A = this chain, B = another copy of it.
Amino acid sequence: MMTEDTRKAGARRASGRSNGEGRKADSALTRSKLIEAAAKLFSDNGFQAVSVREIAQAAGVNPALVNYHFGSKQQLFEEVIRIYAADNVADRMTRLAQERRRLGRLELEDVVEIYLAPMIDPQFDTDSDGVFSRLHAVMIAERMEAFDQIAARAFTAVNVTFLDELERCLPHLTRHTITWRLFAMVGSMLYFGVRPAPPGLHLISKGGCDPMNREDMRKQLINYFIEGMRAPVR
């Protein structure tokens, strides 16, 4: 409540997308440098553990620019989340459309594989490898009020789409059951997305199980997901 007014004022003054798109080159560059640096640092260390000064230094800009361009540290984080979530969602939707065009009616195997592609497909290795999963973990660990709204806006559409597809492929299951299992899949993949690998995995497998080895991970897990999804409720 103490900084509420000034923060909003700052954010409005800065972000103001209302009057045009590519309006100032330096500004957009600074913003993207901050977002990139923040994404890396937040995903590696969490939200509270990273200071505005660290982010600014990593981006090579002045610390005050965080507040100037985004209003506050928290709003910068939210912007990072929005961008990476949107990328993740766009990846999946694009793939789904492509595969639908290519194969016509999709089988369960296809739908599951497409949904997990951003996290499991070795050919899908963007430069932001794993960053999204870790950001997700950070949001969950350090509860943020704004996040539920952001997640709802970002993920509801893609999840509804995939639930529709899955429901069509699994007529013996209720949407209720399928929803539970879809989120179980997400939990698994987020877990393998954290860095370093889930505690104990490296040790207990004597280095054999490595989530960085997407090829192996996909091979060992894809049927686990598919057959799990297909299992009756009993």
Residues of A in contact with B (beta carbons under 8 Å apart) = 44-49, 134, 137-143, 147-148, 151-152, 155-156, 159-160, 163, 176-177, 179-181, 183-192, 194, 196, 198-201, 203-205, 208-209, 217, 219-221, 223-234
Contact: A137 with B141, CB < 8 Å? yes
The closest CB in chain B to the CB of A139 belongs to: B199
Contact: A204 with B179, CB < 8 Å? yes
Interface SS of chain A: helix, strand, loop or mixed?
helix
Contact: A189 with B187, CB < 8 Å? yes
CB distance from A214 to the nearest CB of B (A): 12
Contact: B188 with A184, CB < 8 Å? yes
Select which of B159, B219, B233 is within 8 A of A220 by beta carbon: B233
Most chain B beta-carbon contacts within 10 A, residue among A180, A186, A220, A229: A180
For A147, list chain B residues within 8 Å (CB).
199
Provide 17 A-B residue pairs closer than 8 Å at the C-beta atoms, listed in order of the A residue: A44-B143, A137-B140, A141-B194, A147-B199, A151-B200, A152-B199, A177-B220, A179-B205, A180-B217, A184-B224, A186-B191, A188-B191, A190-B191, A220-B233, A224-B229, A227-B228, A228-B231
Instruction: Taking A163-B204, A220-B233 as given, write out 4 further A-B residue pairs in contact, using a Cβ cutoff of 8 Å, ordered by the A residue number.
Output: A46-B141, A139-B199, A180-B220, A185-B188
Select which of B176, B191, B220 is within 8 A of A181 by beta carbon: B220
Q: A152–B137 Cα gap in the complex (Å)?
A: 21
The closest CB in chain B to the CB of A219 belongs to: B233
